[in-house]
Amino acid sequence: MKRLLLLIMILFTCGCTNNAYVYSNIDDNIFCNVKVNNSNREIINLLKQEKYFICNNLEKYLDYSILNTEDISTIVKEVNVGLYRDYYKDVVESDLSKDYLVLVNKYYYLKDNYVPNDLENISTDCSVGINSYLRHEARLEFEKLCQDAKKDDINIYNLSAYRSYEKQNKIYNNKVKTKDVALIDSVSARPGHSEHQTGLTVDINLLSKQFDKTNEYYWMINNSYKYGFILRYPMDKEKLTGYDYEPWHYRYVGRDVALAIHSEDITFDEYYAYYIDNN
């Protein structure tokens, strides 16, 4: 009885009942700045239950769902990474203040004069070839990964890490001379849009899909996140990343973020949209 009296007093003095009534009225009509009506209420209710639902994207989810027949979960993922517009359309300069979490993809680019200022040469124990530079922290972690792998009789080494804008420009343009642009875009980045320009990316061991048949591939899948690296272009996520499956291409994002991406089984593009850009 005492508790009941206390509750009545709290409700009366703070006016909570009134506020609750007002808020529920607002929710009924406007949700995330979108007018809720009989034709969109059902889909909005489904959308807002999605784990990666972003309030600012609500209007885009609704527009996208009219043109695309995918399930709600896929609509949320695809809109979050930017697929409501074509690749390379309305591109945005990458936010360098995000440091090791900078996003570079088909919507985000680095300027032609961007060169990371802390590039360091990967130890020859862990690298072959000439493109052997990574940013300081990524270099340290990659070498740790490589040395620990050796203890398990696994040999992981860099084939190609940092690449300048000019280098990517040559690579891309040479490929485009001989093949169809759409085909090249699925396997090679346009200059300014290559993650290799961040100095946070490393192609390892074998530039072939056959790499995923090796013990080295499995070791990387099970261990790379412990050193802050993620498989950047996984199989079955081609639409979200914009790239063909590349079992050899790893990206440094730091240990905490790599663990989250590994546990949630999402791409870096999805992680960035929800956990970084959304905050």
Distance between the two ends of the chain, CA-based, in angstroms?
A: 44
Q: How far is CA 262 from CA 104, 180, 267, in A?
A: 19, 34, 9
Beta carbon nearer to Zn ion, 75 or 258: 258
Rounded to a whole number of angstroms, the minimum distance from the CB of residue 137 to Zn ion is 19
Beta carbon nearer to Zn ion, 65 or 160: 160
Distance CA 160, CA 202 (A): 6
3-state SS class at 21: helix
135 contacts Zn ion (rule: CB under 5 A): no
**Helix ranges (DSSP H) in the chain:** 2-14, 16-29, 41-47, 58-67, 72-80, 136-151, 165-178, 181-187, 215-223, 238-241, 255-264, 268-271
Rounded to a whole number of angstroms, the minimum distance from the CB of residue 65 to Zn ion is 33
Distance CA 232, CA 269 (A): 9
249 contacts Zn ion (rule: CB under 5 A): yes
Beta carbon nearer to Zn ion, 143 or 203: 203
Cβ 203 vs Cβ 159: under 8 Å = yes
Rounded to a whole number of angstroms, the minimum distance from the CB of residue 154 to Zn ion is 20
Rounded to a whole number of angstroms, the minimum distance from the CB of residue 231 to Zn ion is 11
| φ and ψ at residue 79, rounded to 5 degrees | -70, -40
**Residues touching Zn ion, count (CB under 5 A):** 2
Distance CA 274, CA 268 (A): 10
3-state SS class at 161: coil
Site residues for Zn ion, 202-221, by CB under 5 A, read 203
Which residue stretch of 9-17, 30-38, 211-219, 245-253 sits at the interface with Zn ion (rule: CB under 5 A)?
A: 245-253
Beta carbon nearer to Zn ion, 32 or 207: 207
251 contacts Zn ion (rule: CB under 5 A): no
Distance CA 105, CA 91 (A): 9
Rounded to a whole number of angstroms, the minimum distance from the CB of residue 188 to Zn ion is 9
Beta carbon nearer to Zn ion, 48 or 175: 175
x/- binding map, residues 76-115, to Zn ion, per CB under 5 A?
----------------------------------------
Beta carbon nearer to Zn ion, 75 or 228: 228
* Residue 216 appears among annotated catalytic residues: no
Rounded to a whole number of angstroms, the minimum distance from the CB of residue 92 to Zn ion is 22
Q: Which of these, 143, 137, 89, 92, lies nearest to 272 by C-alpha position?
A: 92
The residue from 120, 143, 216, 246 that is catalytic is 246
Active site residues: 246
Interacting residue ranges for Zn ion, rule: CB under 5 A: 203, 249
